[in-house]
Amino acid sequence: DTEVTQTPKHLVMGMTNKKSLKCEQHMGHRAMYWYKQKAKKPPELMFVYSYEKLSINESVPSRFSPECPNSSLLNLHLHALQPEDSALYLCASSSNRGFYEQYFGPGTRLTVT
Amino acid sequence: GENVEQHPSTLSVQEGDSAVIKCTYSDSASNYFPWYKQELGKRPQLIIDIRSNVGEKKDQRIAVTLNKTAKHFSLHITETQPEDSAVYFCAAHPGNAGGTSYGKLTFGQGTILTVHP
């Protein structure tokens, strides 16, 4: 099963709200990722977790806060976002054993009003 | 850091024709090159990949070639079908994949492929 799931599918939030995006995989992968994708652009890496530890933070603003509670789950906590943060947020996972294939979830379409 | 350039940005072909998308990369240490297909409103889907120790890989109607000397790799789709219409992204993964760079794919800007029936 090469499936990564994400909830919710769509999210509309105001600039003062706090919300969370969730990602789950049951492939036994030990690396998980958050990407941001704007329309007609490639995915843009935000964070990488390897063995539940944050290994890469691509200088993402602190209003985005990642969390990896266990090897199957990845959260992205959102607070005080700006309208320009509206985008598709994609989660991905890979095995982290010398294999680099990343499998993406369906994404959460986020709109900040 | 790595830089990946992808061409063309748009490609229009007739059903049954072949399509070729090319990418160049800057870091000679990069050693893994995936291609993703993203249909409108869908997730990027890994369709084929190649590692730096291989020059060519084929899977049914799609193939990827890699020229390490010239630092470029290409996606070839033969006998195109309307369902091949999508945005295609190439990417490169750093060769020095220690903890600080594992998973750090650099993507090209994408090619919008349209296959006309």
Asked if residue A32 lies in contact with residue A74, where contact means CB atoms within 8 angstroms, the answer is: yes
Q: Which of A19, A4, A2 is nearest to A105 (CA)?
A: A4
> Would you call B83 helix, strand, or coil by DSSP?
helix
Q: Give yes or no for A3 touching B (CB within 8 A).
A: no
Q: Contacts of residue B89 in chain A, CB cutoff 8 Å?
A: 42-43
Q: Give yes or no for B94 touching A (CB within 8 A).
A: no
Alpha carbon of A50 to those of A29, A57, A94, B100: distances in Å? 9, 12, 9, 10
**Most confident segment among A52-56, A108-112, B25-29, B52-56:** A108-112
Q: Contacts of residue B42 in chain A, CB cutoff 8 Å?
A: 106
Q: Contacts of residue B97 in chain A, CB cutoff 8 Å?
A: 100
Residue A100, pLDDT score: 82
Residue B104, pLDDT score: 87
Largest CA-CA distance found in chain B, in angstroms, rounded = 47
Average pLDDT, chain A: 93
In angstroms, the separation between the Cα of residue B81 and the nearest Cα of chain A is 22
